[in-house]
Chains A and B, each alone.
Chain A
Amino acid sequence: MSKKDIIICRCEDVSLADIHKALDMGYRDFESIKRILRVGMGPCQGQTCSNLIKNEIARYNKVHPETVKTHKIRPLVSGVVLKDIAESKDE
């Protein structure tokens, strides 16, 4: 299967070929790759792609995956409608 057809981040439609190109260009850590390719910035917030990308970074840098940091986990855990927050009342 071509690297272009292997989708790593489904939310932002980023392929394995895109990840390898970014690594080749010198972006060697998750946070840098996130800023260039938007991986982990979609509705699932990296829940699908972060481990896959971690492995690719580890392989490229020839280090153990456990030593590779993934992106900062930010609130919220899942998407919430703004109107629901605005109109919610303390119970």
Chain B
Amino acid sequence: MSKAEIVIIGAGISGLSTAYNLAKKGMKDIVVVDKSHFLAGATARCGAGVRQQWATKLNCILAKKSIEFFSKANETLEYEKDIEFKQGGYLILSSSKTEDKQFEKNVKLQNSLGIPSKLLTKAEALEIVPHLNKDSFTSASFCHTDGHVNPFLMSEAYFLAAKKLGVKFYFFNEVKAIELKNNNITKVITDKQEIETNKVVNAAGGYAKEIGQMVGVDIPVYSENHEILVTERTKQMLSPMIMSFSMNIYCQQVPHGSILMGRNNPDALHNHDISSSWQFLDEMAKTVNYILPEVAKGRVIRTWGGSYNISPDFQPIISDTLVEGFYVACGYSGHGFMFAPITGELLTEIILKEELEPYAKDLHIDRFKNQKKIDKEHSVV
């Protein structure tokens, strides 16, 4: 039987970032297990956007710190390729007085935290993207330091850096049980091997709830399918990510040249479905044809789905738990990729029992038990 100082469940971006940060701080014998191949889960299925325009203070701070990491990730991780960090901004469209008011509040909050977002008139937004349908929106908010990172390559950069620091990876290892003795973890059992350990990180993305149940920790999250499509590679036509909460769309051209777009399904069931539906294709095509008719002239070549792991306040849970040595990073509600750098840093501080910055204490799983009102994120597609 093998032994490990810590077993990280899930080799998605959160697990990778945590493994790298722990190894960098000197921890030895770190093992990462994943039930499938490299990047089978939500990380490789995400929309590749990184934004700081949030409605809650917590999400703003996490996003800003993560962007700071992305901007120097190639050098920090000594990555031979390029993570494709591109700051074309996020242009978020407002189509009503209610949204106008919310965006005013959001920008004020973002600015107070050092995020350089601003409100734009319709004319100013059209200067950035001239082919936007001018009848589809009334105003916008914009942050020029938001943008794009390639999820595959960002993950590979962490993966290779962690391997170089001695982290061991076991793919096609599905965790079947976690053994406890007197509320302490003793063993992780996969379908291929048993690993003796006292510490486990639950970074299982869409399956975080099930992993929690293995040690009796009830994590108040659920998974739901979010679909997405991509067009063939085309001429440069969109610099920023275009987003609208009320019209239910996000749409971005990635450096590769293809255009990604997604929307949520308000009737999605709470389960692990990640299939593609014709309804999504139909509604997505109609939405983009209305807002960005030039983009709709492109051909869609592929659609797919991925799990959002949703928490009650649409903010992540980065936390220790009542079970000694059991740590959680989940409930990102669709934003685990863009928050990955700070996830790894914070979880490492929690595991090594270092002093946390005050804001980070609000990411604890116990916040849902408290009676105090939770600040809920509304800026989500």
User: Which residues of A are interface residues toward B (Cβ below 8 A)?
Assistant: 27, 29, 31-32, 35-36, 38, 41-43, 45, 74-76, 78-83, 85-87
Main secondary structure of the interface of B (DSSP, over half): mixed
Inter-subunit contact B232/A75 (CB<8 Å): no
Is A79 within 8 A of B289, CB to CB?
no
> B: which residues have CB within 8 A of A?
37-40, 44, 152-153, 156, 230-233, 256, 276, 281-282, 284-286, 288-290, 293, 295-304
**Inside 8 A of A74's CB, which chain B residues have their CB?**
276, 302-304
CA A68 – CA B230 in complex, angstroms? 27
What's the Cα separation between A36 and B298 when bound, in Å? 25
Known: A32-B38, A35-B152, A74-B304. A79 touches B232 (CB 8 A): yes
Q: A82 to B299, Cβ gap below 8 A?
A: yes
Nearest-neighbour CB distance to chain A for B305, whole angstroms, equals 10
Interface contact B37-A82, CB-CB below 8 Å: no
Q: Determine whether the beta carbon of B37 is less than 8 Å from that of A79.
A: no
Q: Which of A35, A36, A82 contacts B296 (CB 8 A)?
A: A82
State the Cβ distance, A91 to closest chain B Cβ, in Å.
15
A42 and B301 form a contact (CB under 8 A) = yes
Structural contact, B301 and A27, CB atoms closer than 8 A: no
Specify which of B38, B231, B296 lies most central, judged by the most chain A CB atoms within 10 Å of its CB. B38
Task: Evaluate whether A82 and B38 lie within 8 angstroms (CB atoms) in the complex, with A41-B302, A75-B303 already known.
Answer: no
Say yes or no: A42-B232 contact (C-beta < 8 A), given A32-B37, A76-B300, A85-B285: yes
- In this complex, what residue of B is CB-closest to A37? B152
Q: What is the bound-complex CA distance between A42 and B286, given in angstroms?
A: 23
A83 touches B156 (CB 8 A): no
Nearest CB of A to B283, in Å: 9
B289 to chain A: closest residue by CB: A86
Can you list 8 A-B pairs with a CB-CB distance of less than 8 A? A31-B37, A31-B38, A35-B152, A41-B230, A76-B301, A82-B296, A85-B281, A87-B289
In the complex, what residues of A have CB within 8 A of residue B39's CB? Answer: 32, 35
* Other contacts beyond A36-B152, A86-B290, A87-B289: 18, CB < 8 A: A32-B37, A32-B38, A32-B39, A35-B39, A42-B233, A42-B301, A45-B302, A75-B281, A76-B300, A78-B301, A79-B299, A79-B300, A82-B295, A83-B289, A83-B297, A85-B286, A85-B300, A86-B286
